[in-house]
Amino acid sequence: MRHHDHVSTTTPTPTGRPNARLAQTVGDMVRSLAVVFAAVGVVLFLSYRSSPDPVREVDITSPLTVATLSAPYPVLVPTAIDGYRLTSARWQREEPPVWHLGYVTPDTTYVQVEQSATTKLKFLEQELTGTRPEPAVEINGS
């Protein structure tokens, strides 16, 4: 003889009432997310730092003093050029001695001024490698 298990099943019948527990769960989730977002906002606010200007300007005073006292020629410095920012200034004592100024233009192009009394072609070739001729620009009336 075969034995059959009888399982009775019932189908739930809707009561027509909203599930109060479901509403409570959604409300709890919304409140929890609000607390998390508030905490993240506080951390971001406290740790915010504006990004610094990537162009670091230098003071010309010290290198200009050394160059003026050391150079066998009058050291020239362009007067303030609108929007140009001085990013490097140095006196190089090696042969040939060179007065160097480096600027960043308003459109972030780098401009370099090199002054030397040498007539050695090798120096000029080295300084002009990878450059292209530009029209003459008057500096300090010269």
85-109 pLDDT, tens digit each: 999 999 998 888 899 999 998 888 8
Contact assessment for residue 97 and residue 70, using Cβ atoms and an 8 Å cutoff: yes
- Residue 34: pLDDT band (50, 70, 90) is very high
- Residue 58: pLDDT band (50, 70, 90) is confident
User: Is the pLDDT at 44 greater than 90, yes or no?
Assistant: no
Q: The sheet that has 85-92: what strands, in order across it?
A: 85-92, 98-104, 110-115
pLDDT at 62: 92
Which secondary structure element, helix H or strand E, spans residue 135, and what is its range?
Answer: none
pLDDT at 3: 59
Verdict on whether the full-model pTM lies above 0.85:
no
Longest dimension (CA), the chain: 123
Q: How far is CA 56 from CA 5, 69, 111, in A?
A: 86, 26, 15
